[in-house]
Amino acid sequence: MIKIDRLTKSFIRNGAEFPAVKEVVMSIEKGRLVAVIGQSGSGKTTLFNMIAGLIKPTSGIITINDKDITTLSEKELAKYRNQDVGYILQGNSMLNNFTVLDNVCMPAYLSACKEEVRLRAKELLAEMGLKGYENEYPKNLSGGEVKRVSIARAMINNPVLLLADEPTSNLGPENSRKVMELLQKISENGTAVLVSTHEMECLEYVDEILKMQKGTLIKYRP
Ligand SMILES: Nc1ncnc2c1ncn2[C@@H]1O[C@H](COP(=O)(O)OP(=O)(O)OP(=O)(O)O)[C@@H](O)[C@H]1O
Q: How far is the CA of 201 from the centre of ligand 1 (A)?
A: 24
pLDDT band at 222 (very low <50, low <70, confident <90, very high): low
Residue-range domain boundaries for the chain: 30-56+74-209+216-221
Residue 190: partners with Cβ closer than 8 Å, 6 or more residues away = 30, 31
How far is the centre of ligand 1, averaged over its atoms, from the C-alpha of 194 (Å)? 18
What is the share, in percent, of the chain residues with pLDDT greater than 90?
84
One-letter identity of residue 193: V
Identify the pLDDT of residue 68. Answer: 95
Q: Separation of 70 CA from ligand 1 center, angstroms?
A: 20
How large is the average pLDDT for residues 185-212? Answer: 95
| pLDDT at residue 15 tops 80 | yes
Cβ pair 148, 185 in contact under 8 A: no
221 vs 210: CA distance, rounded Å: 7
The DSSP result for 4-68, as a single string, is EEEEEEEEEETTEEEEEEEEEEEEE-TT-EEEEE--TTSSHHHHHHHHTTSS--SEEEEEETTEE
For residue 91, what pLDDT band results from cuts at 50, 70 and 90? confident
- Confirm or reject: Cβ of 40 under 6 Å from ligand 1: yes
Q: How far is the CA of 41 from the centre of ligand 1 (A)?
A: 5
Percentage above 70 pLDDT, the chain: 99
DSSP character string of 70-127: GG--HHHHHHHHHHTEEEE-SS----TTS-HHHHHHHHHHTTS-HHHHHHHHHHHHHH
Please report the atom of ligand 1 found closest to the CA of residue 55: 1
- Return the pLDDT at 219: 80
pLDDT in tens, 26-40: 999 999 999 999 999
Average pLDDT, the chain: 94
Q: What local confidence, expressed as pLDDT, does residue 63 receive?
A: 96
pLDDT single digits (tens) 137-172? 999 999 999 999 999 999 999 999 999 999 999 888
Rg (CA), the chain: 17
Q: What is the pLDDT of residues 45-56, one digit of tens each?
A: 999 999 999 999
The candidate with the shortest Cα–Cα distance to 100, out of 126, 74, 76, is: 126
- Whether 14 lines ligand 1, by a CB cut-off of 6 Å, is no
Model confidence at 211: pLDDT above 80: yes
Residue 207, pLDDT above cutoff 90: yes
| Predicted pLDDT of residue 115 | 87
Average pLDDT for 67-96: 92
User: Which CATH fold would you assign to the domain 30-56+74-209+216-221?
Assistant: Rossmann fold (3.40.50)
Interatomic CA distance for residues 157 and 135, integer angstroms? 21
The ipTM (two decimal places) reads: 0.96
Question: Taking residues 19-24, what's their average pLDDT?
Answer: 97
Closest atom of ligand 1 relative to the 42 alpha carbon: 21
* Residue 42 CB–ligand 1 contact under 6 Å: yes
